[in-house]
Structure 1
C-alpha cells in the first residue's frame, strides 16, 4: 500500500542547502501504477534509452489536468508523455535538443492508416545501392545492408523534392526502430536490445562468441509487421483533433511557448553522464542521416554543472507553467545509489522559484523476462521511479 511520510531533507554541499536543510520533504512511497511491462497502448512500443512507462505520465495527467489543457515535456525522448497525453485528450508540446527525438515521436502524434502504409511500402522501389561502409556487415547481411542504403537514399530524395510526408516519416521511424536487436524481428544479427547500439568491435566479439553471422532480413516485411503491431489498438476518435507542437532546442530557452500556458509538465532530464545519447544511437543517427550538434546534448560529469543546467531549465518551466499547474520531474539514484538526484533537483527547483509539493517514489516488484544482461528468466526484480512534484 502507498505510504506518506515527511522526511527531513538532507543537507548538500550546494550553497543554497543551508537555508533549506531544516525544512521537510513530503514523501509518498508505494506502487502507484501497474508493474506490467506492456500495459500501455501499443502506439508507445518504440524503444529508446532511459524511457519510462506510459503509466507514469498518465498518473500525473489524470490528477492535475483536464482534457484539452496543454501538457509539456522539455526532454521528450521517445515522446511517451506527449503520446499518453494525446491518448487522454490533451494538447501537447514536446522539446528535445536531440533531433532523433522528433523523428521517433512526430509520426505517432497523428493518426496513421495501415492500408496506406502497406500500399506505400509495396509501391516503393528501393534504389540499388553499393555498400559504402563494409564495417556495417558485422551487423547486417549484404543484401539487407544494401536495402538500408536504399531506404536512406529514398528518404533523402523525398526531403530534397519536398514530398516527404507523414507516411514517409512513419516508415523512417519504424525502420530506425528495427535496425538492431536480439530477435529475427530486427534487421541485424543478434545484438544488444534496440535502445542501444553496440560498437563495431563489441559486435565482432558477440558474433564470435555466438558463432553467428548476419542473415538476410526483408526490410519491407519487417517494417510492415512492426507497423501492424504499433497500430493494433485503435486510437481515440479525437486523437487528431488535439494539437501537437515539437521543438528541437535547449530546454532552458523555449521562447515559442507562451508564458503561463502549460497546465502540466511531466519529464525526465538526462541523469548526469549515465546515458550516452549520441554513442548509444550512433546507428540510428547514421540511418536517419541525423547529426546532433556537438556539445548540445548533456554529458555532464560534474554535479554542479548538472544542477546549474537544471536550475536554468526549471526557470524556463516556471515561466511557461500556469499558476495552478504542476511539474512532475522523474529523477533517479546514480553512481550505485551514492547520489540521489532528487536532492539536487529540489535545490534547483527552489533556486528557480518553485515550491516542492512532494516526492513520489514508485517502487514495484516484477518478473524479468529477458536474460540479455545475464539475468535469468523469471528472476524477480525491482523497478523504481523517483518523481519530484513542484508547484509555483
Structure 2
C-alpha cells in the first residue's frame, strides 16, 4: 500500500504532476493473503524527445527516460545510489546521474559500457572536432567482411580508419574521454534510415540488418550507397546530444561517473557491489527469446572488436517462462543482497506473447521469495509511438506502448 501513499504525498513533484488532474484506476488482487494494488494510468508523457538530449542513443528494447525519472524522483534523494543490472544503453543510470544520484551500471554485453560511460564524461565540442581532424584516413585499408551493401567505398575507408585508430588506442591503454566519446557516437551512427547515419537507407539503428537482407532492400529501392562524411556526421550527432545539457547537468554526470561503478557481469553475480548499498534499482530484463540482441548488434560488435557470438552465449535468452523465472530468481536474490533497508526495486516487464504471459505476476513471486515486499504494479498506458505504427502494432499491444512495473521494497 505504500506505493499508493507515496504517489499521493508526492503531488508537488513534477515527475508525478499527473496526479493533480489524472485519470488513473486502482484494482487489488490477492496474492498469498496479501492485497496488491495494480495501478493503471499514464504516469509519464508519451511524447517523443521530452527528456534530456543526452539520452538520444538508439538501442533495441530500451524504455523511455521518463520511466526511470519517475521512480528516481519518487523514491530517492540526491546522493542515493541507483542501479540497473541490465543497463543496455544506460537510460536508468544516465537519468540518475542527471538528477544528482550516484550510479551503478551493469550489463553482460560490453557494448553497454561503450554506449553508456562516455556520456558521463562529456568532452567539449571543439575538442571532439580537433581530435577527429587528427585521425588519418588511410587510402588503402583492408576490411575483413563485405560491407559494400551498406557503405560507399570512401565511407568504408573512413570507418575502417576510425576503427583501427580507436582499437589501437584501446590496446595501448591510451583511450581518453574524447576517444571514448567518438567511439560511442560512431557506434551509434553505423547504420540507420536517414542521412544522419554512415550507411545507405536501411532499418532503424536499433534493428541492425543482415547483409543479405540489405542487398534485397537495395534492389527493391534501386539504391546504391552514396558517400557519407563520417567525421561531419559524428560532429553533428555530438552537437545534437549536447544541445539540452546544462552546466549543472554536466557537472552532475561527471560526479556520477567519477564515483560510479561500470560492470560487465552476469546480473546474478555482481560481487563488486557491496551489500546493502543500493537505494533504487530500475531495470528491464531480457524477455524470453523475443529480442535477438547479438543479431541486432553484430555490426556494432564488429566495429568495436567484440565477438558477438561469444556475447550471445552470455545473454539470458531463454525460451520458456520456467527457465526465465529460474534465471530471474537468482537475479532477485542478488538484488536483495545489494539493496539497502528502505530501498526499492522497480522491475519493468512489459508484455510478451501479446499479453498472454503475465510476467508481472511471476515477478511478484520471485521478488517475495527473495525477501522483498511487493508494493504494487504500475501499468503505464501510452498513445501510439512512431515505431509501433511502422510495424502495424495496435496501441498497448506487444509491450510497445505499455509498461508493467512491479515495485518492491526492502
Please identify, of 293-302 and 224-233, the stretch whose mean Cα deviation from structure 2 is larger. 293-302
SS for the counterpart of 1:349 is helix
Q: CA deviation at 1:262?
A: 0.7
Find the aligned partners of 1:348 and 1:129 in 2 and give their Cα distance: 56
Partner in structure 2 of residue 361 of structure 1: 379
Q: CA deviation at 1:382?
A: 7.2
Query: Counterparts in 2 of 1:252-291, with a 5 A limit?
Result: 252-291=268-307
SS for the counterpart of 1:135 is coil
Judging changes above 3 Å, is the alpha-carbon distance between structure 1 residues 75 and 134 closer, same or farther for their aligned structure 2 residues?
closer
1:68–1:91 contact (8 Å) kept in structure 2: yes
SS for the counterpart of 1:136 is coil
Q: Does 1:107 align with 2:118?
A: yes
1:87–1:236 contact (8 Å) kept in structure 2: no
Partner in structure 2 of residue 42 of structure 1: 53
Partner in structure 1 of residue 11 of structure 2: none
SS for the counterpart of 1:307 is helix
List, as ranges, runs of 4+ consecutive aligned residues in structure 1 with deviation greater than 6 Å: none
Find the aligned partners of 1:126 and 1:320 in 2 and give their Cα distance: 47
Judging changes above 3 Å, is the alpha-carbon distance between structure 1 residues 319 and 370 closer, same or farther for their aligned structure 2 residues?
closer
Find the aligned partners of 2:51 and 2:72 in 1 and give their Cα distance: 15
1:2–1:32 contact (8 Å) kept in structure 2: no
Q: CA deviation at 1:143?
A: 1.1
SS for the counterpart of 1:29 is strand
Q: Does 1:5 align with 2:26?
A: yes
Q: CA deviation at 1:365?
A: 1.4
Partner in structure 2 of residue 304 of structure 1: 322
Find the aligned partners of 1:199 and 1:370 in 2 and give their Cα distance: 21
Partner in structure 2 of residue 130 of structure 1: 141
Partner in structure 2 of residue 55 of structure 1: 66
Q: Which has the higher helix share?
A: 2
Mark the runs of 5 or more structure 1 residues left unpaired by the alignment.
10-19
Find the aligned partners of 1:199 and 1:367 in 2 and give their Cα distance: 25
SS for the counterpart of 1:266 is strand
Please identify, of 363-372 and 233-242, the stretch whose mean Cα deviation from structure 2 is larger. 363-372
Please identify, of 235-244 and 107-116, the stretch whose mean Cα deviation from structure 2 is larger. 235-244
Q: CA deviation at 1:224?
A: 0.5
1:180–1:193 contact (8 Å) kept in structure 2: yes
Q: Does 1:241 align with 2:262?
A: no
For residues 251-277 of structure 1, the C-alpha deviation after alignment (integer angstroms, 9 at most, x for no partner) is: 011111111111110010001111111
Partner in structure 1 of residue 76 of structure 2: 65
Q: CA deviation at 1:294?
A: 4.9
SS for the counterpart of 1:233 is coil
Judging changes above 3 Å, is the alpha-carbon distance between structure 1 residues 65 and 236 closer, same or farther for their aligned structure 2 residues?
farther
2:351–2:359 contact (8 Å) kept in structure 1: yes
Partner in structure 2 of residue 30 of structure 1: 41
Q: Does 1:155 align with 2:155?
A: no
Q: CA deviation at 1:298?
A: 1.1
2:193–2:204 contact (8 Å) kept in structure 1: yes
Query: What is the aligned counterpart of 2:361 among 337, 343, 350?
Result: 343
SS for the counterpart of 2:382 is strand
1:49–1:196 contact (8 Å) kept in structure 2: yes
Find the aligned partners of 1:356 and 1:51 in 2 and give their Cα distance: 24
Partner in structure 2 of residue 12 of structure 1: none
SS for the counterpart of 2:330 is helix
SS for the counterpart of 1:389 is strand
Query: Counterparts in 2 of 1:170-319, with a 5 A limit?
Result: 170-237=181-248, 238-239=251-252, 240-242=254-256, 243-291=259-307, 292-319=310-337
Partner in structure 1 of residue 347 of structure 2: 329
Partner in structure 2 of residue 166 of structure 1: 177
For residues 321-374 of structure 1, the C-alpha deviation after alignment (integer angstroms, 9 at most, x for no partner) is: 111010001102111221121111111112212111010001021463786536
Find the aligned partners of 2:353 and 2:148 in 1 and give their Cα distance: 35
**TM-score (structure 2 length as normaliser):** 0.88
Judging changes above 3 Å, is the alpha-carbon distance between structure 1 residues 40 and 156 closer, same or farther for their aligned structure 2 residues?
same
Judging changes above 3 Å, is the alpha-carbon distance between structure 1 residues 370 and 359 closer, same or farther for their aligned structure 2 residues?
closer
Judging changes above 3 Å, is the alpha-carbon distance between structure 1 residues 93 and 313 closer, same or farther for their aligned structure 2 residues?
same
Query: What is the aligned counterpart of 2:105 among 82, 86, 94?
Result: 94
Judging changes above 3 Å, is the alpha-carbon distance between structure 1 residues 2 and 27 closer, same or farther for their aligned structure 2 residues?
farther
Judging changes above 3 Å, is the alpha-carbon distance between structure 1 residues 116 and 233 closer, same or farther for their aligned structure 2 residues?
same
1:329–1:389 contact (8 Å) kept in structure 2: yes
**TM-score (structure 1 length as normaliser):** 0.92
Find the aligned partners of 1:185 and 1:138 in 2 and give their Cα distance: 17
